[in-house]
């Protein structure tokens, strides 16, 4: 199964509104052929934001250009994740409502528009 199909399956199992996948955009997050495409899922319904991570800023900038041409990706911005990973540069392309504070796993799940069952599974995995 390729990366785009893996991403689609991931979201099918988690999103409360799977119709958002009809407007999802495949985005290459690396120059590597093995990395493949990932899906950028737009905001809508209970989904208030989304993100993709990139190793190179240039790849994040390319993805920003692609997503800026599609509906459902408001407030696109690139965030430097050095503080998160500290070992190497990493960037996140973020869209939707800004997160004004650190959120709990449950709050993040709702922010990303996931089903309550999927949120509970994630909480249980982190225990």
Residues 6+ apart with CB under 8 A from 70: 23, 25, 42
pLDDT at 116 over 50: yes
Its pTM stands at 0.88
Average pLDDT along the chain: 88
* Confidence band for 127, pLDDT divided at 50, 70 and 90: confident
Q: For the chain, give every domain's residue range.
A: 3-125
Tell the residue number behind the tokens 């799940």, with chain if given.
109
pLDDT at 109 over 80: yes
The pLDDT of residue 35? 47
Q: Higher pLDDT residue, 82 or 70?
A: 70
Tell the residue number behind the tokens 């950028």, with chain if given.
40
Taking the C-alpha atoms of residue 118 and residue 60, their distance in angstroms, rounded to an integer, is 28
pLDDT at 34 over 80: no
């Amino acid at each position: 199964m390729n990366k785009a199909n893996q991403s689609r399956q991931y979201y099918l199992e988690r999103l409360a509104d799977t119709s958002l996948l009809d407007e999802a955009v495949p985005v290459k997050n690396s120059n590597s052929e093995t990395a493949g495409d990932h899906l950028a899922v737009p905001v809508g319904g209970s989904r208030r934001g989304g993100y993709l991570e990139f190793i190179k800023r240039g790849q994040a900038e390319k993805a920003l250009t692609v997503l800026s041409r599609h509906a459902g990706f408001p407030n696109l911005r690139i965030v430097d994740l050095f503080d998160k990973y500290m070992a190497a540069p990493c960037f996140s392309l973020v869209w939707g409502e800004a997160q004004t504070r650190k959120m709990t796993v449950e709050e993040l799940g709702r922010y990303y528009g996931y089903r309550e069952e999927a949120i509970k599974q994630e909480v249980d995995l982190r225990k």
